[in-house]
């Protein structure tokens, strides 16, 4: 390499380093060898000449377990593919839309080959930044991508945007609630009124509850600061609470659980990590598998498929999970219909199904 070319190369790498620094939590790795680094410049440059090596950005909206599992699945999916030597730049927006916007703009400006976006707000930021470029955006864990403006229909993606949807099975969730608490009449919901997925989930949940003789008492919040008072108000009005995949609420789940437990009100989760963290039970989607399916969509796009020709991949299959410690604390027994359900204890891992 001539000196002039080397100087240009190093200058570009330095610019990328400076641009990425300070935009949320930044974790860079290759798909085959994870590690933590504050920059992505050298590894990205080293692999750029390899036929199957790509520079891949991942924007995770918030640092909570279900979204962590989505990333785990994406990383494992890429690691097992022909793109295992790609550089993965994971950046966490820490629950800030403004930070997600800036991360996405930087990834587009630095010409990443693909952006994976985990959770609805991150996906909206990524698509807004990349829609006028040729950079594909593959979203993960977006409950209602049509409502969020990421697709025009579930059957067909945008020109450079497609991904996976986690559709909670509220029929099974309500059946579980009624089995555990057959005398319950009012179900509370704490949700963020600026999260499109939560607004959509609330509408569907109300329809299912009404058809099963349950009244939904909903309490909207606009941010984390509103949660303590909103949770305190909500627990005084309901027999139990059902939690969605609302990023703001999940990120502050301990606050909701503190208020609910003090009022002796069980909280039902929407996936296994929430149950491990103190919710009583859930019909749970496997978010690691969701991440793997998302990675496969990205691999297919790298292989020549067009986002606009692909439909959104919907995950709605779920399995029941109970937290045995929480059940005991409320003096409740696992119903016979769920005797073979998966059982966990708080942050201590899984027990056998027969436990």
Residue 146's region, left for phi above 0, alpha for psi from -120 to 50, else beta, is alpha
Tokens of 2: 């001539």
Task: Give 30's pLDDT tier (boundaries 50, 70, 90).
Answer: low
Lowest-pLDDT range of 106-110, 313-317, 345-349 = 345-349
Section 5-32 average pLDDT:
46
- How many C-beta atoms lie closer than 10 Å to residue 32's C-beta? 14
* Average pLDDT along the chain: 86
Q: Tell which wins on pLDDT, 30 or 47.
A: 30
pLDDT of residue 224: 93
Section 199-227 average pLDDT:
96
pLDDT of residue 37: 34
- Structural domain total, the chain: 2
- The answer on 274 and 291 residing in a single domain is no
pLDDT tens, 143-197?
Answer: 889 989 999 999 999 999 999 999 899 999 999 999 999 999 999 999 999 888 8
The alpha carbon of 319 is separated from its chain's Cα centroid by a whole number of angstroms, namely 18
- The answer on 104 and 45 residing in a single domain is yes
pLDDT of residue 316: 84
Contact yes or no for 171/208 (Cβ under 8 A) = yes
Angle at 302 between CA 300 and CA 306, to 5 degrees: 65
- The answer on 217 and 127 residing in a single domain is no
pLDDT of residue 9: 39
pLDDT of residue 49: 36
- The answer on 206 and 163 residing in a single domain is no
Three-state SS annotation for the chain: CCHHHHHHHHHHHHHHHHHHCCCCEEEEEECCECCCCCCCHHHHHHHCCCCCCCEEEEEECCCCHHHHHHHHHHHHHHHCCCCCCCEEEEEECCCCHHHHHHHHHHHHHCCCCEEEEECHHHHHHHHHHHCCCCCCEEEECCCCCCCCCCEEECCEEECCEEEEEECCCHHHHHHHHHHHCCCCCEEEEEEECCCHHHHHHHHHHHHHHHHCCCEEEEEEECCHHHHHHHHHHHHCCCCEEECCCCHHHHHCHHHHHHHHHHCCCCEECCCHHHHHCCCCEEEECCHHHHHHHHHHHHHHHHCCCCHHHCCCEEECCCEEEEEHHHHHHCCCCCCHHHCCCEEEECCCEEECCCC
pLDDT of 15 over the 70 cut: no
- The answer on 341 and 232 residing in a single domain is yes
pLDDT of residue 18: 37
- The answer on 229 and 243 residing in a single domain is yes
pLDDT tens, 64-98?
Answer: 888 999 999 999 999 999 999 999 999 999 999 99
Structure pTM?
0.78
pLDDT of 14 over the 90 cut: no
Range of the domain at 277: 170-284+319-351
- The answer on 343 and 222 residing in a single domain is yes
- The answer on 308 and 212 residing in a single domain is no
Is the C-alpha dihedral spanning 245, 248, 250, 251 positive or negative? positive
Residue 168's region, left for phi above 0, alpha for psi from -120 to 50, else beta, is beta
The alpha carbon of 140 is separated from its chain's Cα centroid by a whole number of angstroms, namely 7
Report the percent of the chain where pLDDT is more than 90. Answer: 75
- The answer on 238 and 203 residing in a single domain is yes
Section 122-136 average pLDDT:
97
We report the CATH number of the domain holding residue 132 as 3.40.50.2300
pLDDT of 47 over the 50 cut: no
pLDDT of 309 over the 90 cut: yes
- The answer on 143 and 123 residing in a single domain is yes
pLDDT of residue 245: 87
pLDDT tens, 247-298?
Answer: 899 999 999 999 999 999 999 999 999 999 999 999 999 999 999 999 999 9
pLDDT of 26 over the 90 cut: no
pLDDT tens, 182-211?
Answer: 999 999 999 999 888 899 899 999 999 999
- The answer on 153 and 44 residing in a single domain is yes
pLDDT of residue 24: 58
- The answer on 297 and 246 residing in a single domain is no
pLDDT of residue 275: 96
């Amino acid at each position: 390499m001539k000196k002039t070319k080397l100087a240009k190369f190093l200058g570009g790498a330095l610019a990328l380093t400076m641009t990425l620094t300070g935009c949320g939590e930044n974790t860079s790795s290759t798909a085959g060898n994870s590690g933590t680094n504050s920059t992505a410049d050298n590894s990205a440059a080293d692999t750029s000449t390899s036929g199957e090596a790509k520079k891949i950005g991942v924007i995770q909206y918030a640092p909570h377990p279900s979204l962590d599992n989505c990333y785990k699945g994406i990383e494992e999916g890429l690691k097992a593919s022909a793109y295992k030597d790609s550089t993965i730049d994971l950046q966490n927006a820490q629950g800030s839309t403004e930070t997600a916007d800036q991360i996405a703009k930087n990834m587009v400006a630095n010409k990443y080959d693909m952006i994976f976006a985990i959770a609805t707000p991150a996906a909206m930021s990524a698509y807004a930044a990349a829609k006028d470029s040729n950079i594909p955006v593959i979203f993960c864990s977006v409950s209602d991508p049509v409502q969020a403006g990421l697709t025009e229909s579930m059957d067909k993606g945008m020109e450079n945007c497609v991904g996976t949807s986690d559709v909670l099975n509220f029929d099974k969730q309500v059946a579980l609630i009624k089995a555990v608490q057959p005398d319950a009449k009012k179900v509370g919901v704490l949700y963020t009124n600026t999260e499109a997925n939560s607004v959509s989930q609330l509408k569907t949940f109300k329809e299912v509850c009404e058809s099963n003789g349950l009244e939904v008492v909903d309490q909207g919040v606009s941010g984390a600061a509103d949660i303590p008072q909103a949770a305190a108000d909500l627990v005084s009005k309901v027999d139990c609470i059902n939690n969605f995949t609302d990023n703001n609420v999940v990120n502050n789940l301990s606050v909701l659980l503190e208020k609910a437990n003090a009022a002796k009100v069980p909280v039902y989760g929407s996936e296994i990590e929430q149950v491990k963290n103190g919710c009583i039970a859930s019909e749970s989607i496997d978010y690691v598998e969701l991440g793997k399916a998302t990675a496969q969509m990205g691999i297919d796009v790298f292989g020549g498929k067009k986002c606009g020709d692909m439909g959104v991949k919907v995950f709605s299959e779920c399995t029941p999970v109970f937290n045995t410690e929480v059940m005991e604390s409320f003096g409740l027994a696992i119903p016979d219909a769920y005797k073979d359900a998966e059982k966990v204890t708080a942050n201590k891992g899984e027990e056998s199904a027969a436990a």
